[in-house]
Amino acid sequence: MAIVSLENIHSPADLRSLDRSELNEIAVQLREFVLQSVSKTGGHLSSNLGTVELTIALHHVFNTPEDRIVWDVGHQSYPHKILTGRRQDMARLRQKDGISGFPKRSESEYDAFGTAHSSTSISAVLGMAVASRNAGLERQHIAVIGDGAMTAGMAFEALNNAGVTPGVNVLVILNDNDMSISPPVGALNRYLARLMSGRFYATAKNVGRAVLQHVPPVLEFARRFEGHAKGMMSPATLFEELGFNYVGPIDGHDLDALVPTLENLKALGGLQFLHVVTKKGQGYKLAEADPVLYHGPGKFDPSVGIQKPSTPAKQTFTQVFGRWLCDMAEADCRLVGITPAMREGSGMVEFERRFPDRYFDVGIAEQHAVTFAGGLACEGQKPVLAIYSTFLQRGYDQFIHDVALQNLDVTFALDRAGIVGADGATHAGNYDIAFLRCVPNMVVATPSDENEARLLLSTCYHYPGPASVRYPRGAGCGAQVGEGLDVVEIGKAVVRRQGSGIALLVFGTLANAALQAAHALQATLVDMRFVKPLDEALLLELAQQHQAFVTIEEAAIMGGAGSAVLECFSRQGIVCPVLQLGLPDRFIDHGDQGAILSELGLDAAGIERSVRERFAGLMHPIA
């Protein structure tokens, strides 16, 4: 028999022609390809190593792309991409003009639904299933969702709706790898985890049925007893009460179990729930030992593993926040820290270690996180919610109604604001200025460097109402960060360079690039510090001294900080030209952060060029 090769798998149709033993060989090769590929480009690793066999089984059993598969979050979809004709494209994964790190409808017909945020898959496949039913189409609809993503309310909203939706084929696969980006938390996760010590139940159930099927009265009694026993031993009752036929748990790395089980569920149709248990980092010992470290690594040597840099890297904004949080908690016993399942990403590991009773990971539940913070604030606590800008969008209603409307004292530390690089449009923190500044009672702060971040965090923490401090992914310009917990006056800007003719108003960490441009233009540079409230007194003074303004922000221009300046001028009856520089009205694809900013004209050269083009008559000649 010829040796099968991953290089000969150009589409799932090629998988469907293989037998079970050949599928196992493909799994070995696919896992190695994922490891080698991610080690060269960076990307998500642990989650992808854990879904190799499941991906193969799904594409072997189901008629994709006619049958729809939706990968929840999507950071475990690399094997799926490789098997659906994108093996060669993995060399440019998450790079400019390369393929996305997440499923993307415009990229492939096999990517049935674009994902990147958690817990959307069941809602999406239910919508697809209803559309298929209405069109009279017989196809399968599969949602693959992790145990971490199952902590979010949206997943249960979809399950609840599916249970009363007739005539649909929906298969939910719970990929139980005990892995979210931070350690999974919550009562539901503990409920699922009990299965690891209770697998005897699944075996005993099957054996009991085989023995008792010849004694109908006893079998009926056993069925009734089983309904009560399930509630103690497995989550079957929970999902079956929602209308799903629960199967599992089964070994998610055993193709001899996966393939026939999926074939049976495909034949059954209707509402099916399959619970598979996988191991994060499967097949690569270093990732198995530390799946969080290998969740989203950069480039590394697989034979050596991830190594600490020989020279200390510049302090990141996330690290600045983490140290500030611990220092402020030491000074104020009312401080509590909250994260929606992003302990590592938000820099809260040390805070949890030092202040475990004041640390709350609420799971992938952004809406709950915001209202939970509001409840704490009602009772005199001082909650600090560390959340990525892109994830605060998911709790916007709660932010308005449960915090801002009641003017509750909650500090929002918005990490990953602005361009996020390789994660692309799905994770971009481009909109927080626009959607926060329009809400009454809100303070919106935009620190220009690492030290300003610490100052403005302290300032917003002491503001007796809702306030946000936004900062980008990665390191800044390397500013020296103070040790104290000093504050600044809310709404007060700082002139960093006095020039003439044109005033550059910068909001946030583009300040360093703007300062270089200001020197070249002999312009005034103002670090605005706050989008809301604006330093209107300074703006009125500058309007008397300058002929034009330029607003600069790493955020959406529409409704952003530049818009706030224009609104101020309109209120005050000031008529002067204003050039708004920021992120355009389009979704910005993945790529290198610096290269994207340069392409958008938001580096020093780009800012200078834009100003000269717009205000050529006001410019000093280039030296």
104 included as an active-site residue: no
Residue type, 301: D
CA distances from residue 515 to 451, 506, 608 in whole angstroms, order as listed: 17, 9, 10
Angle at which helices 121-135 and 153-162 cross, to 10°:
20
40 included as an active-site residue: no
- Say which of 280, 343, 358, 532 is annotated catalytic: 280
The answer for residues whose C-beta is within 8 angstroms of residue 501's C-beta and 6 or more apart is 522, 523, 546, 547, 548, 615, 618, 619, 620
Cβ atoms 435, 396 nearer than 8 A: yes
HEC-encoded secondary structure of 169-232: CEEEEEEECCCCCCCCCCHHHHHHHHHHHCCHHHHHHHHHHHHHCCCHHHHHHHHHHHHHHHHH
The DSSP H or E segment spanning 383 is strand 382-388
> How many CB atoms sit inside 10 A of residue 242's CB?
19
The 3-state DSSP class for residue 136 equals: coil
Cβ atoms 503, 526 nearer than 8 A: yes
- Say which of 394, 437, 473, 532 is annotated catalytic: 394
Backbone angles phi, psi at 430, to 5 degrees: -95, -10
Cβ atoms 49, 35 nearer than 8 A: yes
d(CA 64, CA 69): 8
d(CA 457, CA 324): 8
Kindly state the tokens that stand for 134: 């209405």
HEC-encoded secondary structure of 228-256: HHHHHHCCHHHHHHCCCEEEEEEECCCHH
The DSSP H or E segment spanning 470 is strand 467-470
- Say which of 53, 226, 366, 553 is annotated catalytic: 366
285 included as an active-site residue: no
The 3-state DSSP class for residue 3 equals: coil
Cβ atoms 162, 195 nearer than 8 A: no
Residue type, 384: V
What residues act catalytically? 280, 366, 394
